[in-house]
Amino acid sequence: DAMVIQNPRYQVTQFGKPVTLSCSQTLNHNVMYWYQQKSSQAPKLLFHYYDKDFNNEADTPDNFQSRRPNTSFCFLDIRSPGLGDAAMYLCATSRGSSYEQYFGPGTRLTVT
Amino acid sequence: GNSVTQMEGPVTLSEEAFLTINCTYTATGYPSLFWYVQYPGEGLQLLLKATKADDKGSNKGFEATYRKETTSFHLEKGSVQVSDSAVYFCAPLSGAGSYQLTFGKGTKLSVIP
């Protein structure tokens, strides 16, 4: 089945230690998104790629970066995680920006 | 900007009860409308969608009708099951040039046997 895959499902990192979360898709979608979801809250868009074009949300901290080396993969890099960055990180894809988004299972990040 | 007002939870229902979760929105232009469901510890799954006025989206016994005149997209199910226990998010998708999915705060549904 075509799908959105996130690895790992659970990630523990130390305060200030860089961490990378990964997302891959077999849907061949043009757009890939990263959302942050804190407990009992709605997902918050961090940034998205339309093909190779990177679009950052205005309020996304500089501590968060992203890379998309090819159509299938997209990475979220947190350069210096703080305790406040502990959250579920959701990757999503869509055929185009005006189409429905398909989400992966998420990576739950714990910062110790 | 876009905004969503979603029925506050948590909602607790007995199995086979009727469910309504209200959702109203403000959005640019004529948005597509979605309901997403999030089961405990998982990502979001697209439950249903409607892309134009008077469209009815349906899936797994859930339904929602795009009401342009009231800018609403209420979710309904005639008979809920324990397995429907989850958080439900209403989300319009619209924009001018750069489309954004705007999520409501989510409504947690618990169905008890």
Q: Measured between CB atoms, which of A43, A102, A104 is closest to B46?
A: A102
Q: Kindly report, residue by residue over A5-24, the tens digit of the pLDDT.
A: 999 999 999 999 999 999 99
B82's tokens: 């324990």
Do A104 and B44 touch, CB atoms closer than 8 A? no
Q: Kindly report, residue by residue over A57-91, the tens digit of the pLDDT.
A: 989 999 999 999 999 999 999 999 999 999 999 99
Amino acid at position B30, single letter: Y
Question: pLDDT digit of tens for each residue in chain B (113 aa)?
Answer: 788 999 888 999 999 999 999 999 998 778 899 999 999 888 899 999 999 999 999 999 999 999 999 999 999 999 999 999 999 999 998 766 667 888 999 999 999 99
Contacts of A6 in chain B (CB under 8 A): 43
pLDDT at B98: 64
pLDDT at B1: 72
Contacts of B89 in chain A (CB under 8 A): 42-43
Q: Measured between CB atoms, which of B34, B41, B103 is closest to A43?
A: B103
